[in-house]
Amino acid sequence: MNKNKFYTLGVLTSGGDAPGMNACVRAVARTAFQEGANVVGIMNGYEGLINGEFKRWRNARAVGGILRLGGTWLQAQRSKDFREKHGQREAIRNMNEEGIDGLIVIGGDGTLRGAHALAEQGIKVIGIPASIDNDIWGTDMAIGVDTALNTIMESVDKLRDTASSHNRAFLVETMGRNSGYLAVQAGISCGAEIVLCPEFPTTVENVAEVIENAYERGKNHAIIIVAEGATLRTTDLARELDKMDVGFKTRVTILGHVQRGGSPTAFDRHLAARLGIRAAQALLNSETDMMVGLRGRDITLAPLTDVTTKTRPVNMEFYNMVRMLAQ
Ligand code: F6P
């Protein structure tokens, strides 16, 4: 008899969506079915857990056709109620009633904090990192980051066409509330003059000098990447630069939620598959309160206590590379 025949695994996505979440849900579900377990898809993240929005999937076909889809097919929310003890208690009560033995949660830092809170109350749970911000400790890459970076790169390449046609400097704002990861990586991939990010604050005068310097060296455009969470706000910076004579006229583009959409890249689909398989296997082997992650070439497990208390620093060497290459 299959040892997992009476095991029911629940899976949800939570927080901001990230391309590759669907590929990951598919990998989790198919691994569980392969191992003989039952699978329940939970709609709307933790909110769905509180409201009992469960879908019992009959077999692996239930997750067919979602691999290449962007967004999250299971839908996601940032649940206020789940941050409170009463919400968590309600979620646990529903899980028990539905006969869910273990939970896989796919999402960013808030989602993983929620997973840890459940584990502390005795729920078996494994987290999978998915957030375009790539600010999660315990993994080199989260699901969705590569797709977002490619979207940024395509957008900035287009902006460069128009910037050089009109001798302009473009301030391009990327997502990343508390992290400059996307901005720094985009700065390298897109040949920016300078990157502004929360981790390495700079002044308006320094940015002005960098732009003026590019103008004087005969460049016909300048690209400045600004992380959403940078100490200087993008529109304020543009206003200040307009008052100074930096050579180029400036324009602002805020990329916004376009960065979260789109079909996942090959890298994200591959990462989602590996993390999903490992997470389901870990849960079925009675591991709990852990997050799967990519470290080097390996898929590893890290305790959620570490994941939720440590921060993932932005690489200073990469930050400096942007300035060095902007010659
Ligand atoms: O955490 C992912 C992220 O896209 C951040 O980069 C951004 O600050 C935030 O989510 C936006 O959240 P919302 O979709 O709720 O506006």
Find the CATH number of the domain harbouring 61: 3.40.50.450
Give the separation between CA 185 and CA 224, rounded to whole angstroms: 13
Do both 48 and 66 map to the same domain? Answer: yes
Q: Stretch 285-314: mean pLDDT, rounded?
A: 97
Same domain (yes/no): 185, 250 = yes
Count of the separate structural domains present in the chain: 2
Domain boundary pick from 227, 260, 293: 260
Smallest Cα–Cα separation from 65: which of 105, 16, 29, 102?
29
E strands present in 211-271: 222-227, 249-254
Asked if 274 and 296 sit in the same domain, the reply is: yes
Residue given tokens 């809170």 in the structure block: 117
Residues 241, 162 share a domain? yes
The model's pLDDT over 57-105, given as tens digits with 9 standing for 90+, comes to 999 999 999 999 999 999 999 999 999 999 999 999 999 999 999 999 9
Residue 230's DSSP bridge partners are none
| 104 falls within a domain | yes
**Candidate of 175, 259, 312 to mutate for ligand 1, largest count of ligand atoms within 8 Å of Cβ:** 175
Q: Is the pTM of this model over 0.95?
A: yes
Catalytic annotation on 133?
yes
242 and 289 in a single domain? The answer is no
Same domain? For 217 and 132 the reply is no
- Domain span holding position 78: 8-144+264-307
- At 1 the pLDDT is 52
Instruction: State the catalytic residue, choosing from 109, 133, 135, 146.
Output: 133
Overall size of the chain counted in residues: 327
